[in-house]
């Protein structure tokens, strides 16, 4: 029987977007079907540029076409939705709190967002009420300290629009994919012994801005966790996006987080900023494991006592007010800044982070 375009289209309705659980036809991702003799050419646009599941999507499309036309030669090309198309898709996705549309989508749970399965015994979110507080460097040093203490640890860089973990660890190239029934990204190994995944490792140009709206960012975060081989680690640290917005909500509701570490600075706004972060964690029932006060002081060689650039420290007082542990204050360290810029974070071994790691290990 000659290959028929309508038969191919019907077969492709069975192919679901791995993240949304919705038919790629219903989502409007199938942009072209060309049948020429025994050759079937299908063009599919991905929702996310550099999608880590593109190989899985390609294989699913090929399998669906072969099911409808067993003798056909199948050619699949992949592209990306335009910004206007992304906006239109966002409108559809916004209709359901679960972030999916259509009857094939999984039933919403946990306030509308499905909780993903546990892959690592201990998953710790490292967050902040605002950007620029050194959250990523704290995450990186804590991960290195856990590895030095003999506890395998990886980092998921969930700051999709401002990723920095790959640069801090000097990681370049693209993660490998473990083929199988469900292909999985292999977290990128680093010289520090800390495997990482970051959006910077999945896009063609790390300097290009990631201009995505909420549903696409949220989907990318879920994919970096669910579709990656994190198993085998003891700890997974999540470098959170700053603030209390949609992406933070997705992490707290979708990822099986065991607790959060909040990073802040000593400025007078710390009380208000920490209150927002602590309030969000409390509302979503995420235990706050500790508060770290970063950029707290400078140790000048000529002075025995530290010099407090921003005045008296406020972290311990704020932590006491909100009933969370105060882990301590960290200095401004030019050597740390140089190591982060050079991608040699493993060269920094601050004793205070050994103590932080031991706090985590002790539970």
Structure confidence by residue, pLDDT tens digits, 214-242: 778 888 899 999 999 999 999 999 999 98
Cα 326 to Cα 329: distance, rounded to the nearest angstrom: 9
pLDDT, residue 181, reads 76
**CATH superfamily entry for domain 5-107:** Fe-S cluster assembly (FSCA) (3.30.300.130)
pLDDT, residue 350, reads 93
Query: Is the Cα torsion angle 93, 97, 103, 106 positive or negative in sign?
Result: positive
Positions of the chain with pLDDT under 50: 1-2, 95-113
Q: Is CATH 3.40.190.10 what the domain over 122-362 is classified as, yes or no?
A: no
pLDDT, residue 247, reads 87
* Chain Cα centroid distance, residue 222: 7
Q: Structure pTM?
A: 0.70
Backbone angles phi, psi at 115, to 5 degrees: -80, 125
Q: Where exactly are the structural domains of the chain?
A: 5-107, 122-362
pLDDT, residue 1, reads 44
Backbone angles phi, psi at 46, to 5 degrees: -85, 150
pLDDT, residue 104, reads 33
Closest CA to 124 of 324, 362, 305, 360: 360
Summarize the chain as % helix, strand, coil (round to 5).
Answer: 35, 20, 45
């Amino acid at each position: 029987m000659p290959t028929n375009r309508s038969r191919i289209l019907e077969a492709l309705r069975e192919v679901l977007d791995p993240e949304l659980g919705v038919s790629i036809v219903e989502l409007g991702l199938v942009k072209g079907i060309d049948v020429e003799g025994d050759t079937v050419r299908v063009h599919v646009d991905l929702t996310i540029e550099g999608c880590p599941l593109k190989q899985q999507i390609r294989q699913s499309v090929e399998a669906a076409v072969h099911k409808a036309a067993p003798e056909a030669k199948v050619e699949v090309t992949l592209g990306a939705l335009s910004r206007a198309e992304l906006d239109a898709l966002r409108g559809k996705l916004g209709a359901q709190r679960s972030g999916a549309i259509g009857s094939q989508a999984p039933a919403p749970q946990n306030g509308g967002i499905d909780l993903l399965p546990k892959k690592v015994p201990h998953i710790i979110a490292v967050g902040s009420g605002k950007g620029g507080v050194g959250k990523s460097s704290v995450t990186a040093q804590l991960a290195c300290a856990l590895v030095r203490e003999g506890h395998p640890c990886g980092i998921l860089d969930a700051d999709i629009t401002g990723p920095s973990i790959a640069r801090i660890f000097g990681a370049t190239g693209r993660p490998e994919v473990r083929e199988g029934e469900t292909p999985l990204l292999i977290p990128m190994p680093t010289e520090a012994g800390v495997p990482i995944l970051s959006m910077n490792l999945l896009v063609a140009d790390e300097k290009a801005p990631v201009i995505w709206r909420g549903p696409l960012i949220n989907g990318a975060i879920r994919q970096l966790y669910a579709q990656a081989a994190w198993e085998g680690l003891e700890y997974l640290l999540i470098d959170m996006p700053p603030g209390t917005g949609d992406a933070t909500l997705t992490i707290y509701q979708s990822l099986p987080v065991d607790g959060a570490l909040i990073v802040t600075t000593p400025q007078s706004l710390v009380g208000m900023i920490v209150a927002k972060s602590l309030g969000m964690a409390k509302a979503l029932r995420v235990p706050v494991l500790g508060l770290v006060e970063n950029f707290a002081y400078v140790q000048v060689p000529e002075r025995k006592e530290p010099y407090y650039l921003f005045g008296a420290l406020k972290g311990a007082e704020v932590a006491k007010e909100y009933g969370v542990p105060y882990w301590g204050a960290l200095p401004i360290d030019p050597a740390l800044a140089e190591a982060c810029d050079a991608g040699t974070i493993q060269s920094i071994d601050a004793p205070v982070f050994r103590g932080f790691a031991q706090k985590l290990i002790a539970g």
